[in-house]
Structure 1
């Protein structure tokens, strides 16, 4: 086998090994057999909700297993073709086989990345909140820059971005804002962005052109649908109404239509002011509260599962995640993964997919280490 062919085949096999491990291959096969047997039960559809849930799980698992098997078969076919060409001294056939292996390597690399988006709520839409840190106008301008960065990225992915709530700064920027990012795997991609983001630049608001450091916090949590039950008792809520102050237009501001809901046991506060109707704002705020409580439960379970790990993989409020330096040089550095970029302006224009991919890989690698294993994602 020629060296290039061996290298390509090795890359594909390595990715296949990783896919099988994250799929938990033997258990996945047993689970699919179990689901297939239950799907044949004539009483299954007596409970439509459970039946639909079972069929969705079955379809998802079947698709994942079939994809791995197809890759394995295509790898065998390409290697057989290469051996045939090599034996006959046919360089065109060898070239065809190597071309097929290159395409296969690209395909399995995409599958490998998709396998990381397998968390409980990864496929869901996401709420993304940005809050300016201390520092007045400078920090508020930075918060708006971050909101623009995420909006640009989401739109480039074909996601729909909807402004839910916004509190504008006195001179420039925003004090806080919440947007809903709608699209498949929105939460899975963005969940690693929760944390503190730091900006270093020459301040455009400083007449002496001094260098300033600003902070803003990002919080991402999943949008959940009615199939996920979250118990909220009315007695635990404090609901306040107030006059909208965001950029919703003059008609929004004529009544006390904005709604703020405080969940007293947890201290979680959500608010919505984008609709003219107080009823609609309340419904949106309740949806946000359910999502926040659900995300809180996910985090709690993750923390319990990782309590004995040497290295925590989840990030939380108050954790410095990434630094964006515009002066005296340009660099964006992710402090968790070590990924660096020198084209800071492109990053701020929404080119953040590389950081998101690295965060996903880092999370899985750390989880594997906490289990005593080793992840191939650490390679390269």
Structure 2
């Protein structure tokens, strides 16, 4: 049903583009015939708006990977630096949640480990919506923040790092085999912000896949059974994502070097002081409105990164305001 709704929406969107273009052409012809330049100007403005819609749909055509259509998990981890980095990780998490809301997608917080003073040490969310993984997959990597720290009494400029890991939610059509002898399951008490216990039982679940070293955890439900089921789903998704990465490396070693996911691979800088700039280090796309970016307006960065990933760097670099 979801695929059918997407296809119906796509076909209807193309029909609206065709109708809108023809209507605008007719209005231009009528305006020129009657000498009414205001009608011509309005129609030309409408064509420009249609062009922006076409550009967006062209980017969506890049989302044809095996897993692009799936929902996605997003993990955010703070780097070294205590409260400052933990606050930055929380800012990043909010940015992705705001982006998802703007895109009409649903967000669920699966687990979070909060900092003692502020921010988060780590957190995992699930974003549900068509092509959620396809849009988010280029966000994996290290994000750098430069600002005057609100936690520094001397108001010094600080540089903080946080890492983002994105992997697809595996649906029932994808089979991922996991030997139970290869995993270790631990349970612990879930805790909320400020160290307050969410409950008094060991309902949170952590699963470690010993051969790969992959660790997943879930604590959003009071039921250990539900958390365990969600954690198993997350583990299968991580193993599936690892297989997708392996295939990509085999297919194209050059592309693999550009899309490497690791703590040492910085993809974007967010500078709030001494000047204001967000710049993607892979594509060169930048914005002089970091507050808008941190409020979820990251589509320009995502689109350029997708084109860069598919075309190996042949992407028009444009500044965004």
Aligned to 2:275: 329
Gaps of 5+ in 2: none
Greater Rg by CA: 1
Cα separation, 1, equivalents of 2:215 and 2:25: 61
Shift of 1:106: 3.6
Counterpart secondary structure, 2:160:
strand
Distance 1:83 1:98, change over 3 A: closer
**Among 134, 152, 158, which residue is 2:104 paired with?**
158
Gaps of 5+ in 1: 1-51, 370-374
Query: Does the alignment pair 1:281 with 2:227?
Result: yes
**Among 113, 130, 134, which residue is 2:59 paired with?**
113
Aligned to 2:91: 145
Cα separation, 2, equivalents of 1:350 and 1:99: 26
Cα separation, 2, equivalents of 1:152 and 1:63: 23
Shift of 1:140: 0.9
**Among 224, 240, 249, which residue is 2:186 paired with?**
240
Distance 1:364 1:82, change over 3 A: farther
Name the count of aligned residue pairs: 313
Deviation per CA, 1:315-335: give whole Å up to 9, x if none.
312210111111111111111
Cα separation, 1, equivalents of 2:160 and 2:50: 45
Task: Check conservation: 1:196, 1:215, Cα contact below 8 A.
Answer: yes
- TM-score, normalised with respect to structure 1: 0.72
Choose between structure 1 and 2: higher strand proportion: 2
Cα separation, 2, equivalents of 1:211 and 1:251: 35
Shift of 1:251: 7.2
Shift of 1:312: 3.6
Moved more, 150-159 or 101-110: 101-110
Cα separation, 2, equivalents of 1:172 and 1:320: 24
Cα separation, 1, equivalents of 2:165 and 2:121: 14
| Greater RCO, 1 or 2 (C-alpha within 8 Å, sep 6+) | 2
The CA RMSD over aligned residues, in Å, is 3.3
Query: Does the alignment pair 1:267 with 2:205?
Result: no
Counterpart secondary structure, 1:253:
coil
Aligned to 1:132: 78
Aligned to 1:314: 259
The 5-angstrom pairing of residues 78-117 of structure 1 reads 95=40, 102=48, 104-117=50-63
**Among 333, 336, 339, which residue is 2:285 paired with?**
339
Aligned to 1:229: 175
Shift of 1:201: 1.2
Counterpart secondary structure, 2:269:
strand
Cα separation, 2, equivalents of 1:170 and 1:249: 8
Task: Check conservation: 1:221, 1:291, Cα contact below 8 A.
Answer: yes
Cα separation, 1, equivalents of 2:126 and 2:66: 19
Deviation per CA, 1:106-129: give whole Å up to 9, x if none.
442232121022111111111111
Task: Check conservation: 2:248, 2:256, Cα contact below 8 A.
Answer: no
Task: Check conservation: 2:115, 2:121, Cα contact below 8 A.
Answer: yes
Deviation per CA, 1:52-86: give whole Å up to 9, x if none.
9xxx79x96x99899989989998x799979998x
Query: Does the alignment pair 1:195 with 2:144?
Result: no
Aligned to 1:18: none
Deviating beyond 2 angstroms after TM superposition, the runs of 4 or more aligned structure 1 residues are 62-75, 77-85, 88-108, 246-253, 309-313, 377-380
Choose between structure 1 and 2: higher helix proportion: 1
